Amino acid sequence: MDDLELRLDLPGDLPQLFADATVERTLPVGLPDGEVVWPDPGYPQHQAVLRPAFWISDEPVGGELWARLRARHPESGLWPLLLDETDQPWAAGQVAPEPVADVANYAPGAFMYEVWGDWSEQASEDDIDDLAPFGLHCPGPAEPGHLLEDPGTVADRHARVLARREHSLGLVAVDRGADALAAIGWQGALNHNEWTAPLAAVVRSWEDRFGARVIGLGFNTLELSVAAPPVTTRHAVHVAAEHWAFCPDILFQGPGTLTGYAEEIRGKTWWSFWWD
C-alpha cells in the first residue's frame, strides 16, 4: 500500500482542528511525527470553545514538504506554516486563538487610517519627515501589483529557502493562509495591536492585491512570499506606508524613512516583518 492510500483521510488527531468534523477532507501527503497543540489554559483566551490550535511536527522539515502540503490545501483544509522556534517552543501552547470569522469584521483601510491617526496625534516634526511624502495624511491602501509569477510557485520557492533554517512544520485549519494568524493564536504584534484579527485582514488584502502567501511564523515574526510586488518607486513608497502601519518597527528600527524602506521592498518577492 503506497503513501497516497495510507494518507487519504486526515491522520491522527488532525480532524480535531476543525469546528465541523462532518466535512470530508483528505491529505494525500505523508506527514512526519507530530502532535496537535492545545492553547495553554493559563494563557488569556479569546474563544469560547477551545480545541487544538494547530499541529506541529516533532522535527524540522524541508521546503518540498511545505510545497506539497500547500498544493493539497484545497483538499485538506490545512494551511502549512514553517514555525520558527528560536525564541520559544510553539508546543508550549502560549497562544490565544481568535475566531476566524472576526477577520471579516475589519477593513484594512480603516485599520491603516486608525494607526496613522493615533500616530499623528503625537508625532514630532522629525517623525512627520520620516513618513514623507505623506506625513500626517494617511494615503490609504495602495493599488494592486501585477503578477510576476504564479503565487503558488513563488511561495514554494521561498518556502524552500526558509526551510534551510530548520523550522518545524505547522498545520492550521483555515480556508486561506492569512487566517492562520488568528486561528493559531499568534500574538507577535501584541505590543502594537491587542488583537490579531485586524492584522489577518490586512494580510488577506495583500493576498488579493499582491499575490502574498503566508509562509512562516515566529513568536514575533511573519514571513510572506509576494508574487506581485511594487516595481516602481512611487508604488513602493505607497506600499511602504501600508507596511509601516502594519509593523512600525521595520521602519523606525530599520532604514528610518518610508523612501528608504521603499527601496528595500521594490521588486522584492519576499516580505519579512518583526515586532519588538
CA 261/CA 221 separation, integer angstroms: 18
Residues 6+ apart with CB under 8 A from 182: 97, 98, 99, 100, 102, 103, 196, 197, 200
Query: Could you tell me if 29 and 137 are in contact, meaning their C-beta atoms sit under 8 angstroms apart?
Result: no
The domain limits of the chain are 3-96+152-187
Predicted pLDDT at 8: 56
pLDDT digits 0-9 by tens, 161-217: 999 999 999 999 999 999 999 999 998 998 888 899 999 999 999 999 999 999 999
pTM equals 0.94
The angle that helices 197-210 and 108-120 make with each other, rounded to 10 degrees, is: 120
Predicted pLDDT at 253: 84
CA 108/CA 206 separation, integer angstroms: 10
> In this predicted model, which residue has the larger pLDDT, 42 or 256?
256
Residues 6+ apart with CB under 8 A from 19: 49, 51, 173
pLDDT digits 0-9 by tens, 138-152: 999 999 999 999 999
Tell me the β-bridge partners of 225: 213, 270
Predicted pLDDT at 50: 79
Predicted pLDDT at 54: 97
Burial class of residue 164 in the structure, from the number of CB atoms within 10 Å of its CB (0-12 exposed, 13-18 middle, 19+ buried): exposed
**How does residue 40 score in pLDDT terms, banded at 50, 70 and 90?**
confident
Residues in the chain: 276
pLDDT digits 0-9 by tens, 49-108: 678 999 999 999 999 999 999 999 999 999 999 999 988 889 999 999 999 999 999 999
Query: Could you tell me if 238 and 165 are in contact, meaning their C-beta atoms sit under 8 angstroms apart?
Result: no
